[in-house]
Amino acid sequence: MLEGFGSRAATFTADVDQAIYINFVLSIVLFLSVVAPMLYFAWKYRESNVKDENIENIVHHTGLEITWTVIPTLMLAVFFWYGYTSMRTLRTMPDAASSITVQVEGKKWSWNYTYPANANGYVHKTAELFVPVDQNIILEMGAPLNDVIHSYFVPAFRMKEDVVPGRLTKQWFNSTVIGNYDVECAEYCGTRHSYMLSKIHVIDRATYDAWFNSDAKAPAGFEVAMSKGQEVFEANGCNGCHSVADDSILVGPSLMGIGEKKDAQYIKDALATPDKVIAEGFSAGIMTPYTLSEEDMTALIQYLKDGK
Ligand SMILES: [Cu+2]
């Protein structure tokens, strides 16, 4: 676990916390104002304390009725106001020209990010999000048509928005604190829902720019010794469903040793038309077709062959 609810890492975090805090305190006031009189009356009018002839039916009390209409209405107005204003901050997208817009794809069961092309025309595709500190970031989010609803949730920023197949949803943030933050899927989406995680790395501007303008896989300090093939495997979310290092079954069959058992064509077909040949003991319709570039495919097949 990285930074979560314990940190306040985005510009609107304090607004959201204030709305939650005010709603929480008012809810306690409401709760006590109902439950405390209830307990008091139960005690005061207990059977041994009241005689039948003392019981009087009160038909109407205008003062009371006005009180219990006006006070809760005012409280609701306060709930609404703080909820509405902080919601509006979250839902009003900043000016796109001065923001960085990243495409986010959520699918069973991984997240991936596609950046706009840099000056050299290179498009970064990553499994974790890298952004500069103090910068407006817009996330344009979607899921493949044959997938299910997910939700992109960043506890440290207090932001969450559904990711819906066939629909574009947006979310923005501006993080003021350099650090690494958890991203979770907050909409139950099947077997590996709880492993549908990602990270946001908020880094300094110079490191971000140097990385963005290069074709390096990750900014300085985040490089992982990973073969091209493994990168392709992880950036496409294959690791969400397939193990390679051992024979454990996540969702699909383990791919350990498949590069030896099957030829390259078999793997290409398994990616292009997963439902044509179904691995024994598994069902169709779970793995979606993938179209990889020639280069990525070669690296992937190499990786499945010798783990490099
Ligand atoms: Cu999900």
- Which pLDDT value is given to residue 49? 83
Provide the pLDDT confidence category of residue 241 given band limits of 50, 70 and 90: confident
User: How many distinct structural domains can be found in the chain?
Assistant: 3
The CATH number covering residue 127 comes to 2.60.40.420
Residue 205 has pLDDT above 50, yes or no: yes
CA-CA distance, 15 to 90, in Å (whole number)? 10
My answer on whether 71 and 111 are in the same domain is: no
Ligand 1 centre to CA of 184 (Å) is: 8
Ligand 1 centre to CA of 146 (Å) is: 13
Q: What is the pLDDT of residues 88-110, one digit of tens each?
A: 999 999 999 999 999 999 988 89
Burial of 215 (0-12, 13-18, 19+ CB in 10 A): exposed
Taking all residues of the chain, what is their mean pLDDT, rounded to a whole number? 89
My answer on whether 125 and 221 are in the same domain is: yes
Answer positive or negative: Cα dihedral of 177, 218, 139, 2.
Answer: negative
Ligand 1 centre to CA of 108 (Å) is: 6
Ligand 1 centre to CA of 97 (Å) is: 30
The CATH number covering residue 64 comes to 1.10.287.90
Of 91, 110, 131, the residue that ends a domain is 91
My answer on whether 104 and 221 are in the same domain is: yes
Ligand 1 centre to CA of 106 (Å) is: 7
Residue 1 has pLDDT above 50, yes or no: no
CA-CA distance, 73 to 69, in Å (whole number)? 6
Helix (H) or strand (E) holding 258: helix 258-261
- The share of the chain scoring above pLDDT 90, in percent, equals 50
- Asked if residue 3 belongs to a domain, the reply is no
My answer on whether 291 and 207 are in the same domain is: no
Ligand 1 centre to CA of 188 (Å) is: 6
My answer on whether 208 and 264 are in the same domain is: no
Residue 2 has pLDDT above 60, yes or no: no
- Asked if residue 141 belongs to a domain, the reply is yes
Ligand 1 centre to CA of 282 (Å) is: 21
Q: What is the pLDDT of residues 159-194, one digit of tens each?
A: 999 999 999 999 999 999 999 999 999 999 988 899
Provide CB contacts within 8 A for 78, sequence distance 6+.
22, 26
Of 34, 65, 91, the residue that ends a domain is 91
Asked whether the whole model's pTM tops 0.75, one would answer: no
- Asked if residue 4 belongs to a domain, the reply is no
Range of the domain at 27: 13-91
My answer on whether 102 and 213 are in the same domain is: yes
Lowest mean pLDDT: which of 118-132, 138-152, 196-210, 275-289?
A: 275-289
My answer on whether 216 and 236 are in the same domain is: no
- Asked if residue 2 belongs to a domain, the reply is no
Q: Is 208 left (phi over 0), alpha (psi -120 to 50) or beta?
A: alpha
Ligand 1 centre to CA of 18 (Å) is: 28
Angle at 247 between CA 243 and CA 251, to 5 degrees: 50
Ligand 1 centre to CA of 238 (Å) is: 15
- Asked if residue 298 belongs to a domain, the reply is yes
My answer on whether 85 and 130 are in the same domain is: no
Amino acid at 172: W
Residue 225 has pLDDT above 70, yes or no: no
My answer on whether 111 and 214 are in the same domain is: yes
My answer on whether 102 and 171 are in the same domain is: yes
Amino acid at 285: G
Residue 284 has pLDDT above 50, yes or no: yes
- Which pLDDT value is given to residue 239? 87
My answer on whether 106 and 216 are in the same domain is: yes
Ligand 1 centre to CA of 110 (Å) is: 7
Ligand 1 centre to CA of 290 (Å) is: 19
